[in-house]
Structure 1
Amino acid sequence: MARKGRKGRKQKQSKGLLYLIILICIVCICYEPIAGALHINLPAAVTELSEKTPVKATSTEAISVKNVLYPAPLKNTPEQILYRKGYTVSYNKETKIPNWVAWELTPEKLIERESRTDKFMPDPDLPESQTVTTDDYKRSGMDRGHMCPAGDNRWHWKAMQESFYMTNICPQNHNLNRGDWKELEEACRLWAKKEGKIYIVCGPVLYRQKHRTIGKKHKITVPEAFFKVILCTNSNPPKAIGFIYKNTSGNHPLDAYVNSVDEVERITGMDFFPALPDNIEKRAEATYNLNLWGKR
């Protein structure tokens, strides 16, 4: 009986060791897929936050990185970076308008899956004391002007909804908003369709002067002008172009507003597309030629 007991214990130990080896093998095999799944399911805000600070690229292969979209961090200017489905905004809590709004436009994003909502909303990521509402625009004589247009966000319901957050809006002259500014937005969509992908950054221009404000509850700064810069890295060589629009009524052709990106940087004090390789950035930003983009 004693021999049988010892034999039984040995068999149990052997089975236990076998089960342990099998368990270790299963863990090793499944570890990488599980880790990958966990990484994929990270919240978008976490994964995108790591891309906030532009990283200087060292080769033309790095042009496609998402960081190429963002201007360099601003100096002596409040900015809160807010990531959205269709764009990224640098919000200024003092002026109550964005410093800049940046997005990537591709032919896929030109597919109109959603209708325009026209539902302007306070930004849910801001404290209530800072949230601009549509009431602040009432009887101001100014339009709620989109920086990233609703027309660039019809590819997804959430992108459309977030395009109406008030952090993406500036007080804009009615005729400018419905006229020449809209024509530039339409031109950008044509360029994205033609080129395959373009990067766009736009926002207000605040000159060194006392600014007009609107709003009873929140004092919203009225920009003196607006800028827009566009970069295409698919072309050979890469090309860029800039525009400055005074915040007034106007009816002028597109070429009346054209500037080099360097000139827009001088006017705004911003550094656009800092992740481009230095030689490409210097060449693309120094010159402009509207004819290279194709006439509307």
Structure 2
Amino acid sequence: MSKATIAMIAAAGAATGAAATAAFYSMRKDAPISPAATTTTTTTVSTPTRSGPPAPVAISPAVPKRVSPPLVDPNGLFQYGFPGPVADLRPAAALTSSYDRRTRNPAWVAEHITPASVAIKDADRKNSIFAEDFSIPEKFRAKLKDYFRSGYDRGHQAPAGDAQWSQEAMDETFLLSNMCPQVGNGFNRDYWAYFEDFCRRLTGKYPSVRIVTGPLYLPHKEPDGKWRVSYEVIGDPPNVAVPTHFYKVIFAEDGGVGGKVALGAFVLPNARISNDKPLSDFEVPIEAVERASGLEFATKLPEARRKRLCQEISCSVLVREYKDRQKAFLSSDRSRSPTPGR
């Protein structure tokens, strides 16, 4: 999907949201304000006579208002459990993620890389294996068999290459709760890998880089002129949704307290992408990612601290040198698993 299409979706959502908000506040403003309920106490005073003491003051007690019990109690359902939605939050050494039980994919995965973290090479992906995340209830869990002969790679959201500073940290990136089905040739093993390398290279300029990655399920316009969301589901029985797109939101920090943050938001289709495609073609407003994902990323970051990443640096991928390393990684993965993934 092009930047123009995503921006159009964002704008449409903004218009709808603004109309709803305006209607809500208009209703609140015009609605009459009901006076607060008051309790009246009646006091009767007798006129004193000259021949005796004043008559006692008689106070009538307030009569409590009878309140009828509600006809229904929808919240009574919660005695049996809260339906949800439930997001499984998983904090780990190299990442923090929120798992979407409906799609069997993470909703978002946050990671942090620094010049020091990417310089350490104490882990080897040959020692890591793909594994199911047993912290997720079995009926909501993505399973290894779902990917078997599916035609899709098990695509890391937080890449293993960002966790080479610890074998344990790298192992955690191989749990399926950090995976989504991704097109292999031309995407997961190529352009997406170059994009991940681009993020690591940011540490050459910025002392702290924070990245949020996740799947999207975007609508497409069909021949009848209507927009629909359609995606494949893999597994037998069908279990794991195949995203139509993926996003990355990047926070490149200058390292100072209250300093500037270079923001970049990108949306890539889950499809083959030509190596000569400029990365800047996939840059979108951060609001477009928020409306498409239902998430918010920078609500506490003031506009005064924000910069646009692609105005600060050249947003481009390197293909040649990195591709040779990827082929070596993939050959080791193929020898250990029926379905390659990064």
Q: TM-score, normalised by structure 1?
A: 0.68
Instruction: Report sequence identity in percent.
Output: 31
CA offset digits 1:47-103 (Å, max 9, x no partner): xxxxxxxxxxxxxxxxxxxxxxxxxxxxx8542211111001110111100000001
SS of aligned partner of 1:265 = helix
Q: Which structure has greater helix proportion?
A: 1
Q: Is the 8 A contact 2:280 2:315 kept in 1?
A: no
State the alpha-carbon separation in 2 of the partners of residues 291 and 279 from structure 1.
16
In structure 2, the partner of 1:60 is none
Q: CA deviation at 1:118?
A: 4.4
State the alpha-carbon separation in 1 of the partners of residues 240 and 292 from structure 2.
21
Q: Is the 8 A contact 2:262 2:312 kept in 1?
A: no
Map residues 11-50 of structure 1 onto 2, 5 A cutoff: none
Give the one of 215, 239, 242 matched to 2:262: 239
In structure 2, the partner of 1:39 is none
Q: CA deviation at 1:125?
A: 1.1
SS of aligned partner of 1:223 = coil
Is 1:132 aligned with 2:132? no
CA offset digits 1:123-173 (Å, max 9, x no partner): 131223333222110111111000000000111111111000000000001
In structure 1, the partner of 2:232 is 212
In structure 2, the partner of 1:15 is none
Distance 1:183 1:106, change over 3 A: same
- 111-120 vs 194-203, greater mean Cα deviation: 111-120
Give the one of 87, 92, 99 matched to 2:95: 87
Paired amino acid for 1:226: F
Q: Computing the radius of gyration over CA atoms, which structure comes out larger, 1 or 2? A: 2
In structure 2, the partner of 1:121 is 131
Q: Is the 8 A contact 1:255 1:290 kept in 2?
A: no
Distance 1:115 1:269, change over 3 A: same
State the alpha-carbon separation in 2 of the partners of residues 267 and 211 from structure 1.
15
- The list of structure 1 runs, each at least 4 consecutive aligned residues, that deviate by more than 3 angstroms after superposition, is 293-296
Is 1:198 aligned with 2:209? yes
Paired amino acid for 1:262: E
* Residue ranges of structure 2 left out of the alignment (5+ in a row): 1-83, 220-228, 319-342
Give the one of 96, 101, 106 matched to 2:104: 96
State the alpha-carbon separation in 2 of the partners of residues 217 and 112 from structure 1.
40
State the alpha-carbon separation in 2 of the partners of residues 239 and 248 from structure 1.
28
Give the one of 310, 314, 319 matched to 1:289: 310
State the alpha-carbon separation in 2 of the partners of residues 233 and 291 from structure 1.
12
CA RMSD of aligned residues (A): 2.1
In structure 1, the partner of 2:49 is none
* Residue ranges of structure 1 left out of the alignment (5+ in a row): 1-75
State the alpha-carbon separation in 1 of the partners of residues 231 and 85 from structure 2.
16
State the alpha-carbon separation in 2 of the partners of residues 113 and 194 from structure 1.
23
Paired amino acid for 1:93: R
Give the one of 149, 154, 157 matched to 1:144: 154
CA offset digits 1:237-262 (Å, max 9, x no partner): 32111111001111122222122323
Distance 1:194 1:77, change over 3 A: farther
Q: CA deviation at 1:271?
A: 0.8
State the alpha-carbon separation in 2 of the partners of residues 182 and 294 from structure 1.
15
In structure 2, the partner of 1:183 is 194
Distance 1:193 1:217, change over 3 A: farther
In the alignment of these two chains, the number of paired residues is: 217
CA offset digits 1:190-220 (Å, max 9, x no partner): 1023211111001001125132100114510
Is 1:107 aligned with 2:132? no
- 140-149 vs 113-122, greater mean Cα deviation: 113-122
Paired amino acid for 1:215: G
Is 1:255 aligned with 2:273? no
State the alpha-carbon separation in 2 of the partners of residues 290 and 88 from structure 1.
29
Distance 1:78 1:211, change over 3 A: farther
Distance 1:126 1:266, change over 3 A: closer
State the alpha-carbon separation in 2 of the partners of residues 79 and 178 from structure 1.
29
Q: Is the 8 A contact 1:260 1:288 kept in 2?
A: no
Distance 1:83 1:268, change over 3 A: same
State the alpha-carbon separation in 2 of the partners of residues 195 and 141 from structure 1.
37
State the alpha-carbon separation in 2 of the partners of residues 184 and 88 from structure 1.
20
